[in-house]
Amino acid sequence: MKATAPPAKRRRGPRLAVLALVFCSLLVPIAFLFNRFPAVYVTDERPQQEIDLPSFDRMVFESGGSVNEIRSDSAGVTEVNAEAQDSSDKISGSSKDSHNVIDGDSSSISTKPKVLPPPKIEQPVLPPPKVEHPKPEVKPVPLPVQQAEGDRVKPRRVQNADEVEKAKACQLEFGSYCLWSIEHKEVMRDAVVKRLKDQLFVARSYYPSIAKLKGKEALTRELKQNIQEHERVLSESIVDADLPSFIKKKIERMDQSIARAKSCTVDCNNVDRKLRQILHMTEDEAHFHMKQSAYLYNLGVHTMPKSHHCLNMRLTVEYFRSTPLDPDDSPAHRFNIPEHRHYVILSKNVLAASVVINSTVSSCEDTENVVFHVLTDAQNFYAMKHWFARNSYRESVVDVINYEQIIFDNFPEFGTQLLYLPEEFRVFISSLERPTEKSRMEYLSVFSHSHFFIPEIFKDLKKVIVLDDDVVVQRDLSFLWNLDMGDKVNGAVRFCGLKLGQLRNLLGRTMYDPQSCAWMSGVNVIDLDKWREHNVTGNYLQLLRKFGNNDDEASVRAAALPISLLSFQHLLYPLDERLTLSGLGYDYGIKEEVAQSSTSLHYNGNMKPWLELGIPDYRKYWKRFLTRDERFMDECNVSP
C-alpha cells in the first residue's frame, strides 16, 4: 500500500499579493486627496511649477518699517509682497535674513526646484544713463479714445484692520483663490442647520464633565443619544437639503438636555477647555477644507480642459490627413516685408491666439499689410498650423513658427529651447499708514526668456508689436506704428505701483534708478533696430548667467522679473496707461464702462477667459471674438 503524499503547503505569495492590492486601493485615493499626484491633463499654457526663491529677502524701509517679501505660488506665478511707499520716502540699505515661504499645501502638485540666489554684481552690466546731456522726459502718447470717467474699480465696503489682516494672510498663503472664494462664498441660509450645529458644540463640551458625575448616568445617556442623532441629521443634510419633519422635537429635546447639564455642578474650566478644543478642531477642519479647495482651484486654472485637449488632437491629426497647401497660394512672401505691420504672439493655446488675432483685425481699419507671427512649441505647432490654414482673418496673414525647432537649429548657444510664455508675478502691495485703503494684489506680467530672441528670429524686420495671448484688442492699434520712440527700445505701459528700489535685494548691486517704475507686458511696441544697436539680447544673456543657470527651467523663469526690469533700464518708452486695462484675470471690481471703453483688455492673472473659472463679467469680451461654426469645436464640445 503506497503512502499518500503529504498535502502541499499553501503558498503565501497570492495572499500577500491580495493584501498589497487592497492596501494600494486604499492608499492611492488618499494620496490623490492630499495633492500628491495630478489626475488630469496638465496644460502648458502657464507652466505649473513652484519656484523657491532664496534670494528674495525680506526688505525693510525707513518709512514706518514697512516690509517686503517675495514668494512663489503653485501657478508658476511668483509672488512679490511689496509695501507701498510715497515718492518722498527714502530707501534704507538694511535687510533682514532670508525668509522663504511656500504657498501652502495647495501648491504641492508641482515640483520644487531650488534656485540659487543671484550673486552680487560689482560692475554695472548695462550702460549708465547719460547725464551730460539730459533729454526732456518722454511723455506717454495720448490715445485717440475717450476713457470712462471716474475710478476703474467698483466702490467697495471699507474693511477694518482685522479683516485686512485676514485677507492679507489668506492671499499670501493661497493667492488668487481667496479672491475667487470671496466672490463664490455661500452663506448658510438654513437657520435650523446652524441651530443644530450650535447645540451640538455645547452638548459636546458638557458631555465629558457630566459623564464623570455620579448619579447622572441617565443624563449622560440622554446627551450621548441626542449628540448622535444631531450628527446623523447633519450628515444627511449634506446629501438631502430637506430636513426630517420631526427635527423641531429633536431641537427641543436637546435644549432640555443642555439645560439639565448646565444646572449640574461641573468644573467650568473643563467645559471651557472642551469648548476651546472643539473650536480649534473646527478651525483646523475649516483650514483643511480651504487647502483642499485651493488645491482644486489651482488644478482648475492650470490644467487643460478635456475639450481643448480634444481640439488640439483633432487638429493635429487632420493636419497630417489633409492635402498640403499649394506653394503658389502660400502667403510666405509677405512674412518678411519690413514695411508691413508685424504682430508677434507667443502662445500654446489655439483659441487664445485666434482671439487675439481676430480682435486685432476686427478693430483695424486696414488689414492688407497686417502680418501675425505666432510662436508656439512643437507639441502645438501642427494644431496651430491647421487651424490658421482653415480660418482666415480678413486680408491679414498668419505665420505659425515652431519656436523650439528654430532655436534648436539656429541658436543652440541660447541654452534651453523651450518656449516660455510671459511670466506673471503676484505683487501684494500694502501701506502701514492706511492699510484699509491701499492693500491690494496685482499681477505683474513681464517678458519671458523666449521674448529676448525675437530680434534674432525676425532679422529682416525693423519694428514689431508683441501681444500676449490673454489680450483682447477693442480699438485700432494703428497709431502705435507712428510712434517716434527716439533711442528707446520697448514701448510699454508702466506699473508705478512697484518701484525698482523696492526690489533692491532681488536686483543685486547692478546700477539702476530706485525710483524707476516697473512695466507690464501685454501690448508692447518693440524697435528691433534699436534693440540690436543696444545689444539687449547680449545684455540679457550676461545677466542670466549672473542670476542663474540658463539651462535650468526654474532658474530661467525665476530670473524673468529682475532681468526684464534691468535689461530695459533707460530703454523704456512709456505708453499711455489707458492703452491696456489689466487685471481681468483676478480683479472682480473693474467697472463695466471702463472695460468697454478701453483700447485693449489684459486678462493677466489665474482666471483666464477660456477657463470655466474665468470671471463671468469679463469673459463676454473675450468670447465676442471667438471663432464660430467650427466643426472641430462642435465635435469636441468646446464652449468657453
Same domain, 276 and 340: no
Residue 442, domain CATH? 3.90.550.10
| Number of domains forming the structure of the chain | 2
Domain endpoint, select from 293, 322, 346: 293
In a domain, 591, yes or no: yes
Domain endpoint, select from 262, 293, 324: 293
Same domain, 226 and 322: no
Reported as a single tens digit per residue, the pLDDT across 541-579 is 888 888 766 667 888 888 888 899 999 989 999 999 889
What is d(CA 266, CA 269) in angstroms, rounded to the nearest whole number? 9
Reported as a single tens digit per residue, the pLDDT across 570-624 is 999 999 988 999 999 998 889 999 999 899 999 999 999 999 889 999 999 999 9
Task: Tell me the mean pLDDT in the region 423-448.
Answer: 76
Same domain, 475 and 605: yes
In a domain, 106, yes or no: no
In a domain, 163, yes or no: no
Q: Which residues contact 536 (CB under 8 A, 6 or more apart)?
A: 452, 455, 489, 567, 568, 571
Phi-psi domain of 23 (left: phi exceeds 0; alpha: psi -120 through 50; beta: other): alpha
Same domain, 439 and 352: yes
Domain endpoint, select from 293, 316, 337: 293
Same domain, 325 and 357: yes
In a domain, 403, yes or no: yes
CA distances to 212, 343, 478, 615 from 346, rounded to whole Å, are 70, 10, 21, 23
Is residue 495 a contact partner of residue 520, using CB atoms and an 8 Å limit?
A: yes
Report the half-sphere exposure of 156 (CA within 13 A, side-chain side). Answer: 18
Same domain, 570 and 603: yes
Same domain, 324 and 283: no
| Mean residue pLDDT across the chain | 75
Reported as a single tens digit per residue, the pLDDT across 92-114 is 333 333 333 333 333 333 333 33
pTM of the model: 0.71
What is d(CA 397, CA 250) in angstroms, rounded to the nearest whole number? 72
In a domain, 101, yes or no: no
User: Between these two residues, 8 and 209, which has the higher pLDDT value?
Assistant: 209
- Considering only CA atoms, give the Rg of the chain: 30
What pLDDT sits at residue 266? Answer: 80
In a domain, 42, yes or no: no
Same domain, 217 and 356: no
In a domain, 615, yes or no: yes
Q: What percent of the chain has pLDDT over 70?
A: 69
What pLDDT sits at residue 432? Answer: 60
Domain hosting residue 214, numbered range: 197-293
Same domain, 251 and 366: no
Is residue 527 a contact partner of residue 84, using CB atoms and an 8 Å limit?
A: no
Same domain, 278 and 411: no
Same domain, 543 and 446: yes
Same domain, 226 and 279: yes
In a domain, 274, yes or no: yes
Q: Is the pLDDT of residue 60 over 60?
A: no
What pLDDT sits at residue 24? Answer: 60
96-100, 384-388, 489-493, 615-619: which range is least confident on average? 96-100
Task: Please tell me whether residue 477 adopts helix, strand or coil conformation.
Answer: coil
